[in-house]
């Protein structure tokens, strides 16, 4: 490995401008503030700016500039929130400077941690063959350990597995002890603190024993590796000599710490973000992280971008008015040169379906006017908010792709099939064994436990299965034979394994699920994905780390987004932009969600989420809300538009109410109602 060798060193000399030999005219593509960040010298840098001000663009040009200046691309690490965004950014770098960009290392924190731990984890006792638990698996393992410890029988009011997983995760991500999290945020469970701590230890021990690693562990263990092993830290740090991070406002303490260690030999870290768009507090992210960056990295140079290139002035006026009310914010007001454009429209609908019909109708109109479907998006607070609209769009033959919400690998049948692959990859994986065994006729939780105990003891788990007797004996034997035949073969290509296991699993699948014909498509889709992989371990890790979206089925062709509009949760719309954006269910109780009402901090997070939604629009923005909706969860009738619009001057919005006329929806202006 070439240690500490960099042929060129960037000097901090922003006022000199780029050297003449560069292949791109950076000054022509960027404004002065962006340019200063792009050509910044070595050392830590923070770009803090509002939505649409070119933060992501600045990072793309920065990567291009580094390569253009002679930095070896493999020394550049680009960390993003999703794999898709790092791919897109690197494609743009490729368009700017060509194939040299291919050697840049890009990905999410978790995927980079996964890669580094498999390579260097032995130094902290982590064998490379570990299996990654997704959140559902982690909860299942917690439930298993809870049962083993006899905690479930103790008290009916013991928290559920999902809540426990949330507590554990918060504790890891915020680097705070479990006791503190429970007392501060789950006070009603404080009486169970001892048991919860015992369970946490049991969960950790079970993961270690079974070579399992959950999402949080990836970061926790990477941090531990970097902290404990000086030589590994030096090696990794000098491998990634330039670290760039997009969407820094959504990182947490743990990630900040990982970056600090990664950069320990050079301090070349550039992060970009907007505190007003911090929307992942539930995962332990904090917008304060971005403000603390300069103290974590002494000598940080701060760049502020103020011109918005995305939206028209009327949209920015609304965005500014919404975020104006935030109790804590640091970024400045934005301006744009796109002065003209329609006012954002606020639409009141009599019922949910009227809202859906309005949107379908509007989409058709806009398409007539020449706005392509791919330039339109409908955003919502929670995935289920779009169900009615999905039916309406299908009725009009309007194709869409849905992002966020349920992932297809989280569906029960896909998890079933994958569990079989996972026991082949890691025969110690108790969660997957449990799932696989419970599918067999005659096996209940007790039997599954017994079989697992026998498997663990046996030198050959598959043969142990073949020797089982009783009501489930035949089923267990079939399983044993299938797995044994797979484990023995050379060809562990995922596509081959999925194929072989499907043969065993399909009869079970058909008895488990009444709607199996519909679910079959997902299994076919899994087969298609598997064909893209050579190795089982990479296949399983990728699926666990960044599962494809639910409705991506059949959408894997290169031009998959070409003729479809996007339906997306606000969380999954981060960083993106469209000509026309609809935000639906802008009703108080849905957005902000009724569950956030009690806590100021949560309301603030919902406000930022609303800010993120409206700042996705370039030119057309529609906010819609139905009235007289009975909300089953809260028992309330929801009728009022979002409270975030209360302080917004009526002059900033065009206000309409839908009327049913002759059986079809129509709309008219209702300005007078809101004055």
Binding site for ligand ATP (CB under 6 A): 30-31, 34, 49, 51-57, 274, 277, 309-310, 575, 577
d(CA 343, CA 346): 9
State which residue, 247 or 588, has the beta carbon closest to Mg ion: 247
State which residue, 319 or 526, has the beta carbon closest to Mg ion: 319
The least CB distance from residue 75 to Mg ion, in Å, is: 23
Phi (first) and psi of residue 20, to 5 degrees:
-65, -25
State which residue, 34 or 383, has the beta carbon closest to ligand ATP: 34
Residue nearest ligand ATP by beta-carbon distance? 54
53 touches, from ligand ATP, Mg ion, none (C-beta below 5 to 8 Å by class): ligand ATP
Sheet holding 76-79, edge to edge: 105-107, 76-79, 242-245, 269-273, 45-49, 301-305
d(CA 29, CA 334): 20
Q: List, in order, residues 6 or more apart from 266 with CB less than 8 Å away.
A: 42, 237, 238, 241
State which residue, 54 or 284, has the beta carbon closest to ligand ATP: 54
383 touches, from Mg ion, ligand ATP, none (C-beta below 5 to 8 Å by class): none
Q: List, in order, residues 6 or more apart from 450 with CB less than 8 Å away.
A: none
State which residue, 49 or 113, has the beta carbon closest to ligand ATP: 49
Q: Which two tokens stand for residue 121?
A: 């984890």
The least CB distance from residue 658 to Mg ion, in Å, is: 34
State which residue, 575 or 626, has the beta carbon closest to Mg ion: 575
The least CB distance from residue 24 to ligand ATP, in Å, is: 13
State which residue, 44 or 50, has the beta carbon closest to ligand ATP: 50
- Decide if 110 contacts 122 (C-beta within 8 A): no
State which residue, 237 or 249, has the beta carbon closest to ligand ATP: 249
d(CA 74, CA 102): 9
State which residue, 82 or 286, has the beta carbon closest to Mg ion: 82
The helix or strand, by DSSP H or E, that contains position 617, with its residue range, turns out to be strand 617-626
State which residue, 109 or 400, has the beta carbon closest to Mg ion: 109
Tally of CB atoms within 10 A around 154: 12
309 touches, from ligand ATP, Mg ion, none (C-beta below 5 to 8 Å by class): ligand ATP
* Long-range CB contact pairs, 507-513, < 8 A, 24+: 508/416, 508/439, 508/440, 509/413, 509/416, 509/417, 511/441, 512/413, 512/416, 512/439, 513/412, 513/413
Q: Residue written as tokens 């491998």?
A: 239
Residue nearest Mg ion by beta-carbon distance? 56
317 touches, from Mg ion, ligand ATP, none (C-beta below 5 to 8 Å by class): none
State which residue, 80 or 596, has the beta carbon closest to ligand ATP: 80
273 touches, from ligand ATP, Mg ion, none (C-beta below 5 to 8 Å by class): none
Tally of CB atoms within 10 A around 320: 19
86 touches, from ligand ATP, Mg ion, none (C-beta below 5 to 8 Å by class): none
State which residue, 82 or 237, has the beta carbon closest to Mg ion: 82
State which residue, 548 or 575, has the beta carbon closest to ligand ATP: 575
The least CB distance from residue 169 to Mg ion, in Å, is: 26
- Cα angle value 301/616/291 (rounded, 5°): 25
The least CB distance from residue 37 to ligand ATP, in Å, is: 11
34 touches, from Mg ion, ligand ATP, none (C-beta below 5 to 8 Å by class): ligand ATP
Q: List, in order, residues 6 or more apart from 100 with CB less than 8 Å away.
A: 67, 73
427 touches, from ligand ATP, Mg ion, none (C-beta below 5 to 8 Å by class): none
The least CB distance from residue 644 to ligand ATP, in Å, is: 18
DSSP 122-168: GGGT--TT-EEE-HHHHHHHHHHHHHHTTHHHH-TTSPPHHHHHHHH
Q: How many helices (H) and strands (E) does the chain have?
A: 27, 18
The least CB distance from residue 664 to ligand ATP, in Å, is: 37
447 touches, from ligand ATP, Mg ion, none (C-beta below 5 to 8 Å by class): none
State which residue, 66 or 508, has the beta carbon closest to ligand ATP: 66
Strand pairing of 269-273 and 45-49? Answer: parallel
d(CA 523, CA 403): 20
The least CB distance from residue 53 to ligand ATP, in Å, is: 4
Strand pairing of 654-661 and 664-669? Answer: antiparallel
The helix or strand, by DSSP H or E, that contains position 620, with its residue range, turns out to be strand 617-626
DSSP 181-236: HHHHH-GGGGGGHHHHHHHHHHHHHHHHHHTEEEHHHHHHHHHHHHHH-HHHHHHH
- Cα angle value 224/225/230 (rounded, 5°): 115
The least CB distance from residue 65 to Mg ion, in Å, is: 18
The least CB distance from residue 348 to Mg ion, in Å, is: 32
Q: Which residues bind Mg ion (CB under 5 A)?
A: 55-56, 575
Three-state DSSP state, 240:
coil
Angle between helix 600-614 and helix 313-324 axes, rounded to 10 deg = 180
449 touches, from ligand ATP, Mg ion, none (C-beta below 5 to 8 Å by class): none
The least CB distance from residue 96 to Mg ion, in Å, is: 17
52 touches, from ligand ATP, Mg ion, none (C-beta below 5 to 8 Å by class): ligand ATP
30 touches, from Mg ion, ligand ATP, none (C-beta below 5 to 8 Å by class): ligand ATP
The least CB distance from residue 272 to ligand ATP, in Å, is: 7
d(CA 291, CA 295): 8
The least CB distance from residue 374 to ligand ATP, in Å, is: 14
Residue 125: left if φ>0, alpha if ψ -120 to 50, beta else—which one? left
State which residue, 30 or 486, has the beta carbon closest to ligand ATP: 30
The least CB distance from residue 56 to Mg ion, in Å, is: 3
Nearest CA to 536 out of 186, 118, 44 is that of: 118
54 touches, from ligand ATP, Mg ion, none (C-beta below 5 to 8 Å by class): ligand ATP
- Decide if 96 contacts 28 (C-beta within 8 A): no
State which residue, 436 or 612, has the beta carbon closest to Mg ion: 612
d(CA 402, CA 566): 6
Q: List, in order, residues 6 or more apart from 57 with CB less than 8 Å away.
A: 30, 34
The least CB distance from residue 321 to ligand ATP, in Å, is: 18
The least CB distance from residue 58 to ligand ATP, in Å, is: 7
């Amino acid at each position: 490995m070439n240690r500490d060798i960099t042929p060129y060193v960037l000097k901090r000399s922003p006022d000199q401008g780029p050297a003449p030999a560069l292949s791109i005219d950076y000054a022509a593509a960027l404004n002065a503030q962006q340019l200063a960040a792009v050509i910044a010298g070595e050392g830590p840098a923070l770009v803090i700016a509002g939505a649409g001000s070119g933060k992501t663009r600045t990072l793309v040009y920065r990567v291009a500039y580094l390569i253009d200046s002679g930095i070896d691309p493999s020394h550049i690490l680009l960390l993003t929130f999703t794999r898709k965004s790092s791919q897109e950014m690197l494609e743009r770098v490729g368009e700017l400077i060509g194939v040299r960009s291919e050697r840049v290392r890009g990905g999410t924190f978790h995927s980079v941690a996964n890669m580094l731990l498999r390579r260097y984890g032995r130094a902290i006792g982590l064998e490379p063959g570990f299996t990654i638990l997704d959140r559902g698996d982690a909860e299942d393992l917690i439930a298993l350990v809870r049962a083993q410890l006899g905690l479930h029988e103790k008290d009916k009011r013991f928290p559920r597995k999902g809540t426990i997983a949330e507590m554990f995760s918060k504790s890891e991500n915020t680097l705070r002890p479990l006791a503190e999290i429970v007392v501060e945020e789950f006070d009603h469970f404080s009486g169970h603190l001892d048991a919860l701590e015992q369970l946490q230890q049991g969960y950790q021990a079970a993961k270690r024993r079974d070579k399992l690693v959950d999402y949080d562990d990836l970061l926790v263990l990477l941090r531990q590796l970097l902290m404990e092993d000086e030589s590994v830290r030096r090696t990794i740090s000098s491998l990634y000599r330039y670290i760039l991070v997009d969407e820094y406002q959504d990182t947490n303490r743990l990630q900040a710490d990982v970056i600090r260690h990664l950069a320990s030999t050079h301090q070349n870290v550039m992060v970009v973000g907007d505190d007003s768009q911090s929307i992942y507090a539930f995962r332990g992210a904090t917008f304060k992280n971005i403000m603390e960056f300069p103290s974590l990295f002494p000598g940080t140079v701060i760049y502020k971008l103020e011109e918005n290139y995305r939206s028209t002035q009327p949209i920015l006026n609304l965005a500014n008015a919404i975020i104006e009310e935030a109790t804590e914010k640091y970024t400045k007001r934005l301006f744009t040169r796109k002065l003209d454009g329609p006012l954002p429209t606020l639409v009141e609908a009599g019922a949910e379906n009227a809202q859906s019909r309005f949107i379908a109708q509007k989409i058709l109109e806009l398409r007539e006017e020449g706005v392509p479907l791919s330039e339109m998006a409908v955003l919502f607070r929670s995935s289920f908010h779009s169900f009615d609209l999905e039916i309406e769009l299908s009725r009009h033959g309007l194709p869409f792709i849905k992002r966020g919400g349920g992932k297809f690998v989280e569906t029960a049948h896909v998890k079933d099939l994958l569990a079989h692959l996972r026991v082949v990859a890691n025969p110690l994986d108790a969660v997957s064994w449990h799932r696989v065994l419970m599918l067999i006729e005659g096996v209940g939780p007790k039997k599954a436990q017994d079989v697992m105990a026998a498997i663990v003891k046996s030198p050959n788990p598959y043969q142990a299965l073949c020797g089982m007797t009783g009501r489930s004996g035949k089923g267990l034997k079939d399983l044993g034979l299938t797995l044994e035949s797979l484990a023995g073969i050379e060809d562990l290509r995922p596509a081959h394994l999925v194929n072989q296991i499907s043969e065993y699993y399909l009869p079970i699948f058909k008895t488990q699920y009444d709607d199996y014909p519909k679910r079959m498509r997902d299994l076919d889709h899994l087969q298609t994905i598997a064909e893209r992989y050579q190795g089982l371990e990479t296949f399983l890790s990728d699926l666990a780390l960044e599962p494809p979206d639910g409705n991506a089925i059949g959408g894997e062709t290169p031009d998959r987004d070409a003729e479809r509009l996007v339906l997306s949760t606000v969380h999954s719309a981060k960083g993106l932009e469209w000509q026309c954006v609809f935000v639906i269910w802008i009703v108080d109780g849905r957005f902000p969600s009724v569950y956030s009402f009690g806590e100021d901090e949560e309301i603030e997070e919902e406000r930022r989420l609303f800010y993120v939604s409206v700042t996705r629009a370039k030119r057309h923005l529609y906010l819609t809300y139905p009235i007289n909706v009975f909300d089953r969860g809260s028992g309330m009738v929801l009728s009022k538009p979002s409270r975030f619009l209360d302080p917004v001057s009526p002059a900033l919005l065009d206000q309409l109410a839908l009327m049913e006329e002759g059986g079809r929806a129509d709309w008219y202006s209702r300005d007078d109602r809101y004055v």
